[in-house]
Every structure is written in structure tokens, then in C-alpha cells.
Amino acid sequence: MIIYYNINVNKKIPTGGIELVTKEQVLNALRKVYDPEIGRSIVDLDMVKNIHIEGDKVTIDINLTVKGCPLQDTIKKDAIKEVSKLEGVSEVIVNLGSMTEEERQNLARKLSGGRKPIFENTRVIVVGSGKGGVGKSTVAVNLAVALARLGFKVGLLDADVLGFSVPRLLGIVDERPYALDEHTILPLERFGIKVISMGNFADEDTPLIWRGPLLSGVLDQFFNDVYWGELDYLVLDLPPGTGDIPLTVMQKLPESKFVLVTTPQASASHVAGRIGYMAKKVNLEIIGIVENMSYFECPNCHQRYNIFGEGETEKLAQDLGTEILVKIPITVKVRELSDVGIPPALDDGPEGLPYIELAEKVVEKVRPIK
């Protein structure tokens, strides 16, 4: 005998004394299955369309937010896993479809209706530098990945709209975010973090020749239209210097915390001081300095060479009333991994340890809100 349950049917059909799995049990099991991009249950998102039960066989129809969703295999596998745990179920079949335009618009309205003020309940860690070329974006990306490795829910916002490098550092150059509607953008996900960057909307080699108002408009969209879901930390990668974007970010997010990146070189340290003093003027707390390219250690003789000098970062920390969080050496492997889109923070070896140490110190200084 075939028993068919439509998602809108709430009553249990008698089975002549034989206890079969019910629609309610299947739905409750599917509530544990989350859309990885949105971070909410597929049941709550109205992605489960039909449940068809035939003896010990359960067939489920799930509509994805977009056809060809890159994480569809994860959703399918999780659905099969959770429903298979139910007593009396020996086979689970999941059919994947995609939402209609109307369904996507309804979902966008649902998400927008529950959207909280900008990054409420989220700790924002702003990573900045006085000048380019000091490894600021590398530090921001690896701090985000390291925080995720520590078990936190993390987002990464690339505010360096004109000089973006986050997509290449994460190996997502050719990937594009998906918009449910003009006001609801789903961020990409990579290595356990959610990511948004202008580099995923524009060709990597095409220059963006934009003035300040356009840049601010993009930043407003990243703040207001990206559906981040629940985050513990958002790492924000600033463009270098003390221009419009760094100032706008600092003023929009006065509760954020600032991490300054520099090299030991005197010229870099003095330029870094400018954005440090800018942060102090707008009352943004500087939680510490990352000294990048701190030294080079010969792999054969293990002799250390201070290629860019030493001592300047200590003076800068003293002048700004803060501390050096970590000193990251120059290593060939960090460059090699970064070039192919693999963050060194994923490495349990010496290349990854400084970033884990940095993440631990950030957590120590800036505890999650909940």
C-alpha cells in the first residue's frame, strides 16, 4: 500500500496497527538540515515541498534557492543522513529541484523581515594598514579562517573595493554570489567562512575607475543587502590609507575593534601610524598590531635575518598605547599557498601557527557577544 503525504497534510493516516514513520517525524528530522549559505533550516526556508512514504522508503522533494547550487550535495547528504536515523526507515531518496521566481521572492521577503540592524550581536574586527603591500589582506583572510577553525561563525567583508585580493587568496576568483532579489545577496562560503568581495562581481584584471560616491554605494550594499545570518565575528578588510572608505567604515561601525598591520620597516611603520591615529580620533579601539614580514629564517642554517629592520613596531605600539599581537615571518610557503588560494591558517605547521595565535589573542580581547 502506498501512503502519500503532502507537506500541507497534518494528520497521520491509520496503518492497520503497523507503526510507520510519519510526516511530522520526517519534518522534525529535516529541521536539523541547514542551508549552508543562509544558515537556517531547510524546513524554515520552505525548501521541503513534498514527502512521499511507501512502507520503509521515504522520498523527499527539496527545492534549492537556485538551480545548480554549489552546496546541493551537502544538503542532499545531510537530509538523507537525518531521515535515515528514524526508526522504520531503510531507504531515503532526495529529489532536488529549484525554487520558482515567486518562491525566491517570498524567501527574500522572509529573510528581510527577520533581518537585524547592521551586524547586531556580531563582533566586527577591522583590519587596516597605512600603506599597501604589507600583507593586510593576507592577515585579514587568515585571521577569518583561523577564527573559523577555533569554532566560531565568521564572515569576511572585503571593503578594499578597488584593490581587492580576497578572492584570489581564497581561491574563489571565478565564483559569483547569488542574489535572491535586488536587496538580498547570499555571500559565498569557503573554508568555513562567509565572504563578500567586489572581486566576485568584477573581472579580476579589469580596473574599476570609480569615485567616492560609487565606492560608498557598494559598501552600503555590502552592509545592508548581504544576508550574513548569525555571525560571531565579521572580519573587515579595509583599503590601505586614511581615505573615504576607512573613515566611512570607522564612523558606521563605532563599536568595531581595530587591528593594524605593518612591517618593521621605518617608512611602513610611520605611515601605519597615520591610520592608527585616525582610529583613535574617531574613538575606535586599537586592540593590537600585527608585524608582518617580521623576519626571515634560513631553512638550512636557521639563522634569522631582520630584512626590514627591527624596533620600529615596538615604538609604534608604545605611541598608540597598544601592543604587538603577533610577529609573522616571511616564508616561501605562505606565498606559495596564498597564490593558489589556500590560506596558510589551514596549515597545522609553522606557517599556520602565527595566524592561530593571532585569532586566539583576538578572541581573548574581544569575546563573542553570545
Kindly state the average pLDDT of the residues 66-78: 82
**Residue 179: inside a domain:** yes
Q: Is residue 116 part of a domain?
A: no
- Lowest-confidence pick of 8-17, 113-122, 244-253, 348-357: 8-17
Helix locations, 85-207, DSSP H: 101-113, 136-149, 166-170
User: Residues annotated in the binding site for ATP, as ranges?
Assistant: 130-137
Confidence of residue 116 (pLDDT cuts 50, 70, 90): low
- pLDDT of the residue at 313: 94
Query: Which residue segment(s) compose the domain that 308 sits in?
Result: 123-365
Identify which of 20, 17, 31, 157 has the alpha carbon closest to the alpha carbon of residue 90: 20
Could you tell me which residue, 11 or 72, shows the higher pLDDT? 72
Per-residue confidence (pLDDT) for residue 14, from 0 to 100: 41
Residue 105 lies in a domain: no
160 domain-assigned: yes
Which residues 6+ apart lie within 8 Å of 282 measured at CB? 247, 250, 251, 254
Residue that wins the pLDDT comparison between 36 and 311: 311
- 255 shares its domain with 316: yes
Shared domain for 93 and 137, answered yes or no, is: no
Question: Would you state the pLDDT for residue 248?
Answer: 85
Amino acid (one-letter) located at 340: V
The CATH number that applies at residue 60 is: 3.30.300.130
Higher pLDDT, 14 or 184: 184
- pTM for this prediction: 0.75
**How many CA atoms, within 13 angstroms, populate the side-chain half-sphere of residue 358?**
32
Written as one letter, the residue type at 135 is G
CATH number of the domain to which 156 belongs: 3.40.50.300
111 located within any domain: no
The answer to whether residues 209 and 317 belong to one domain is: yes
pLDDT value at position 324?
96
In the listed set 51, 66, 99, which residue is the last one of a domain according to the structure? 99
Same domain, 202 and 325: yes
Question: Is residue 16 predicted with pLDDT exceeding 50?
Answer: no
Task: Say if residue 163 is in the same domain as residue 251.
Answer: yes
* Domain co-membership, 81 together with 131: no
Domain shared by 182 and 293, yes or no = yes
The answer to whether the Cα torsion of 271, 277, 283, 284 is positive or negative is positive
Least-confidence region, from 116-120, 167-171, 188-192, 222-226: 116-120
Asked if residue 115 belongs to a domain, the reply is: no
Residue 8 has pLDDT above 50, yes or no: no
Distance between CA atoms of residues 302 and 246, nearest Å: 39
| Domain edge (last residue) among 34, 67, 99 | 99
Quickly list DSSP for 180-219: EETTEEEPEEETTEEEEEGGGTS-TTS-----HHHHHHHH
**Helix residue ranges per DSSP H, the chain:** 23-30, 72-84, 101-113, 136-149, 166-170, 212-224, 244-252, 266-281, 312-320, 332-339, 353-365
342 and 233 housed in the same domain: yes
Q: In this prediction, what percent of the chain has a pLDDT beyond 70?
A: 88
Looking at the structure, tell me whether residues 73 and 149 fall in a common domain: no
pLDDT in tens, 164-219: 899 999 999 988 887 777 778 888 899 999 999 888 876 655 655 444 445 667 78
Q: Are residues 127 and 76 in the same domain?
A: no
Sign of torsion over alpha carbons 264, 270, 274, 277? positive
Does residue 327 sit in the same domain as residue 242? yes
Residue 7, pLDDT score: 39
Is 104 inside any structural domain? no
Q: Is 118 within the bounds of a domain?
A: no
In this structure, the answer to whether residues 346 and 202 fall within a common structural domain is: yes
Give residue 343's pLDDT. 95
Banded model confidence at residue 45, pLDDT cuts 50, 70, 90:
confident
The number of distinct structural domains making up the chain is 2
Mean pLDDT in residue range 92-119? 77
Average pLDDT of the residues of the chain = 85
As to burial, measured by CB atoms within 10 angstroms (0-12 exposed, 13-18 middle, 19+ buried), residue 163 is middle
* Listed range (5-9, 36-40, 52-56, 247-251) with the worst mean pLDDT: 5-9
Give the residue ranges of the annotated binding site: 130-137
Structural contact between residues 237 and 132, judged by C-beta atoms closer than 8 angstroms: no
Q: Using CA atoms, how far apart are residues 142 and 240, in angstroms rounded to an integer?
A: 18
Read off the DSSP letter of residue 366.
Answer: S
pLDDT digits (tens, 9 = 90+) for 240-294: 988 888 888 888 888 999 999 999 998 888 899 999 999 999 999 999 999 999 9
CB 328 within 8 A of CB 139: yes
